[in-house]
Structure 1
Amino acid sequence: MKPSKRILPVIVISQFCCTSLWFAGNGVMRDLVINFNLNESAIGHLTSAVQFGFIIGTLIFAILTIADRFSPSKVFLSSALLGALFNLGIIWEGNSFTSILSFRFLTGFFLAGIYPVGMKIASDYFEKGLGKSLGYLVGALVVGTAFPHLLKDMTGNFPWKSVLLITSTLAIAGGVLMSVLVPDGPFRKQSQQLDLSAFFKVFRQRDFRSAAFGYFGHMWELYAFWTFVPLMLQTYLLANPNAAFNIPFLSFLIIGIGGLACIIGGYLAEALGTKRTAFTALLLSCICCLASPLIFSLKAPGFVIAYLLFWGMVVIADSPLFSTLVAQNSRPEIKGTALTIVNCIGFSITIVSIQIVNVIRSLTDTNSIYAVLAIGPVLGLIALLPKRKVTA
């Protein structure tokens, strides 16, 4: 059965609208620091709060196999509504650092019913060309993630709370769109009962483990890079006073261009193979990490921006490809759970890398520290290497 041509665009638009919640706090981080008397280190802690919420959410969703037992579109809608509500909590004038952390945590918790569930919905419609479909879907996530930075630039003359109001409104609209226009897919196989062992069963297959570990290495780098892009630009500006950057707009471009890379990667995977394309993208992002101390030392702002744009592309291009490999190497009745489990572990890793960079940044003000992000890609590349056959 061939899905309607409108299905993929609706899923993509819904994903974009709802994932704009992810970095909504980062888009107004400077305003939060000023209005609530937060420390400069708050950026790492608030980003980690979203990630931690997402981790706990995905863990619960996976253990209870929610995406496989219930209608994914309804799970998506419920999560979008609740995520939007807690995102709005930040505008409360009585907030403290603890309450803001709590609101970001709860927003992240319900993003667990949006991002992996959106991929599950796509995989229920597109068995053929899944890599290309997930390329569009993760591309929407990337642009949605970057969107608050653009909103901040566009609403510079408006109260900072407008960024949060707009992102919550978009999330509600995205949830409603998915619920109304995207029924359960033709390839969906509903799990009939609660299977608490599914969390462990998925790792028994070697090809699944290889894809999952490649994804984990990619995640070590990805969200730390996205989190600190504005600070990379700010640090470079301080070291090069003659340069002139619009940091919010450039942050949007550097993160958002990854959406285009996801789409391109999906098409390349059809021609070159999914695993090979993912390996190449991970290798290129690893090189970007290792080259960062040298690049940031150059007194060439235009070249540095071009390098960051390229890094912004290759750092995410492999993400939909790893998700494709995970979905293809999972049993159909626990596919949603498998995607959620891998997301859960991957986002747990992002907290570690973000906090490590945060600690190193408190000790030095140089951009050379981002070479540490190469650790994940190196380990991911090793996991993706073909296993040598042992001969007697």
Structure 2
Amino acid sequence: MTLQVPKRVLPTIVFAQFAGTSLWFAGNAILKELQLEWQLPADALATVTSSVQLGFILGTFIFALLSIADRFRPSLVFLACALLGSALNVSLIFLPPSYFFLLSARFFTGIFIAGIYPVGMKIASDWFEGKLGKALGYLVGALVLGSAFPHLLNYTGSSLSWKFVLIGTSILAVLGGLAMVFFVGEGPHRRRGAKFNPAKIFEVFKVHEFRSAAFGYFGHMWELYTFWAFLPVVLVYYNETHSTSLHPSLYTFIIMAVGAISCVLGGFISVKKGSAKVAFTFLLISGILCLISPLFFNLSEPIFVTVLLVWGFAVIGDSAQFSSLTVQTAPKESVGTAITIVVSIGFLLTIPSIQLLGYLATVIDTKWLLFTLFIGPLFGLIHTWKLVKKNMSKA
């Protein structure tokens, strides 16, 4: 007998994930205003972005080490982290204007986002065990919109204070946490994890298919967040060199947000083609775009924007499928820990990637920056192909 999942569950998880992850890029969206008002250094973008990533990495490591998502009710973990992350996010309004306080608030916000994004995936896996690729397509699509949303808030509220963005994203995250508890709860496929055992972190990587899925994800992550973080820089550079007036916040939102469509579309395709093929295809497209990116700046404005939209579509479309592959290949009693540690390592890799481009931005022409991201897709493609071949041999 197939268990019927209530229709409210998936839309609520999607909303909660969107709402919670809106905290992620809230600092980036208001950075230009803060640089002027708080007199922040010119290289603040890379540092502020990295501080959130570092907090997220530490948070996911703690969650994985303590197996929190497997040992406790995931929906309550999600709510607690949404409340605490929102409080830290909005705290910048009340703190003195200080670069140290900004970095500290973003760092600790990142720690609690670790209880939102991976835990949301764990909750989805507890409800949609049989069609996880499709469900996670919606879920990562929500992450994309949540990450892009602060840029839209910053654009629509450009005549208002930067505080508008922080208040709006914090209220949204709280509503998401409450929705997860009251309208979703725990899924029927949830398996309570065994007692605390740090060895689980290393045991999951002994599974060959799991390792291939994880390494594919790592290559994808080298590119993704650095691409998102430097989109405003690329758009400003194009404006300056072509005397155009593309609004950086608006177009960053649009280019990021279009990825939500690819996540959902990839989820549907994965039902027939398999997650490995879908992930490989998206990663291949974004890798090719990395290689030819210096040529984009010779294009007319409409074609330039179109190419970036294609890139924004491809760069995230594989994410949900890598998450699905991770869940499918991990030991069943350690799914929450496996997701969390893979996400932790993946985000750890975003730090050197972001910092590398932050440094390169000071020594090379901006048009060459995104070209350097190709190493990530190349690494990911090598390992994802192993899963594609394995699935082809089973067919």
TM bucket (normalised to shorter chain) is: over 0.9
- Cα distance in 2, alignment partners of residues 194 and 386 from structure 1: 32
Contact 2:279 2:384 in 1 (8 A): no
1:224-239 alignment to 2 at 5 Å? 224-239=226-241
The one-letter amino acid of 1:333's match is E
Could you list the per-position Cα deviations for residues 228-270 of structure 1 after superposition, in whole angstroms to 9, with x for gaps in the alignment?
10110000111111x2212211110000110111000111111
Contact 2:95 2:101 in 1 (8 A): no
1:269 equivalent in structure 2: 270
1:328 equivalent in structure 2: 328
- Cα distance in 2, alignment partners of residues 205 and 332 from structure 1: 12
The one-letter amino acid of 1:302's match is P
The one-letter amino acid of 1:350's match is T
Q: Which moved more, 1:351-360 or 1:87-96?
A: 87-96
Contact 1:20 1:144 in 2 (8 A): yes
- Cα distance in 2, alignment partners of residues 297 and 89 from structure 1: 43
Could you list the per-position Cα deviations for residues 126-164 of structure 1 after superposition, in whole angstroms to 9, with x for gaps in the alignment?
011110100000000000000000001111111111100
Task: Report deviation, 1:45.
Answer: 0.3
Return the match for 1:87 from 86, 89, 92.
89
Q: Which moved more, 1:176-185 or 1:300-309?
A: 176-185
- Cα distance in 1, alignment partners of residues 139 and 164 from structure 2: 26
Gaps of 5+ in 1: none
> Does 2:371 correspond to 1:371?
yes
Taking only aligned residues, the RMSD between alpha carbons, in angstroms, comes to 1.2
2:246 equivalent in structure 1: 245
- Cα distance in 2, alignment partners of residues 11 and 365 from structure 1: 42
Contact 2:212 2:386 in 1 (8 A): no
- Cα distance in 1, alignment partners of residues 366 and 83 from structure 2: 41
> Does 2:304 correspond to 1:304?
yes
> Does 2:109 correspond to 1:107?
yes
Contact 1:188 1:332 in 2 (8 A): no
2:361 equivalent in structure 1: 361
> Does 2:118 correspond to 1:116?
yes
- Cα distance in 2, alignment partners of residues 148 and 385 from structure 1: 35
- Cα distance in 2, alignment partners of residues 125 and 25 from structure 1: 33
Contact 1:296 1:368 in 2 (8 A): no
- Cα distance in 1, alignment partners of residues 20 and 302 from structure 2: 33
Could you list the per-position Cα deviations for residues 206-247 of structure 1 after superposition, in whole angstroms to 9, with x for gaps in the alignment?
100000000000000000000010110000111111x22122
1:33 equivalent in structure 2: 35
2:213 equivalent in structure 1: 211
Could you list the per-position Cα deviations for residues 276-329 of structure 1 after superposition, in whole angstroms to 9, with x for gaps in the alignment?
11101000000011110011233x011010000000010000000000000001
TM-score, normalising length: structure 1? 0.97
- Cα distance in 1, alignment partners of residues 177 and 375 from structure 2: 36
Gaps of 5+ in 2: 391-395
The one-letter amino acid of 2:263's match is C
Return the match for 2:7 from 5, 8, 26.
5
Could you list the per-position Cα deviations for residues 31-72 of structure 1 after superposition, in whole angstroms to 9, with x for gaps in the alignment?
111111111200110000000000000000000000000000
- Cα distance in 2, alignment partners of residues 386 and 345 from structure 1: 20
Task: Report deviation, 1:365.
Answer: 3.9
1:192-207 alignment to 2 at 5 Å? 192-207=194-209
The one-letter amino acid of 1:327's match is V
- Cα distance in 2, alignment partners of residues 377 and 220 from structure 1: 8
The one-letter amino acid of 1:276's match is K
- Cα distance in 2, alignment partners of residues 76 and 374 from structure 1: 34
- Cα distance in 2, alignment partners of residues 59 and 212 from structure 1: 15
- Cα distance in 1, alignment partners of residues 164 and 366 from structure 2: 33
- Cα distance in 1, alignment partners of residues 85 and 226 from structure 2: 22
The one-letter amino acid of 2:246's match is F
3-state SS of the aligned residue for 2:245?
coil
Deviating runs (4+, > 2 A) in structure 1? 385-389
3-state SS of the aligned residue for 2:194?
coil
> Does 2:373 correspond to 1:341?
no
Percent sequence identity over aligned pairs: 49
2:59 equivalent in structure 1: 57
- Cα distance in 2, alignment partners of residues 171 and 82 from structure 1: 10
- Cα distance in 2, alignment partners of residues 158 and 370 from structure 1: 32
Task: Report deviation, 1:380.
Answer: 0.7
3-state SS of the aligned residue for 1:386?
helix
Could you list the per-position Cα deviations for residues 60-98 of structure 1 after superposition, in whole angstroms to 9, with x for gaps in the alignment?
000000000000000000000000000012223513111
- Cα distance in 2, alignment partners of residues 90 and 288 from structure 1: 37
- Cα distance in 2, alignment partners of residues 292 and 50 from structure 1: 27
Task: Report deviation, 1:3.
Answer: 1.2
Return the match for 1:139 from 124, 141, 157.
141
- Cα distance in 2, alignment partners of residues 60 and 95 from structure 1: 30
The one-letter amino acid of 2:146's match is G
- Cα distance in 1, alignment partners of residues 71 and 113 from structure 2: 18
Number of matched pairs: 387
Contact 1:235 1:365 in 2 (8 A): no
- Cα distance in 1, alignment partners of residues 177 and 296 from structure 2: 41
- Cα distance in 2, alignment partners of residues 191 and 66 from structure 1: 9
The one-letter amino acid of 2:24's match is W
The one-letter amino acid of 2:80's match is S
TM-score, normalising length: structure 2? 0.96
- Cα distance in 2, alignment partners of residues 382 and 82 from structure 1: 39
- Cα distance in 2, alignment partners of residues 273 and 328 from structure 1: 11
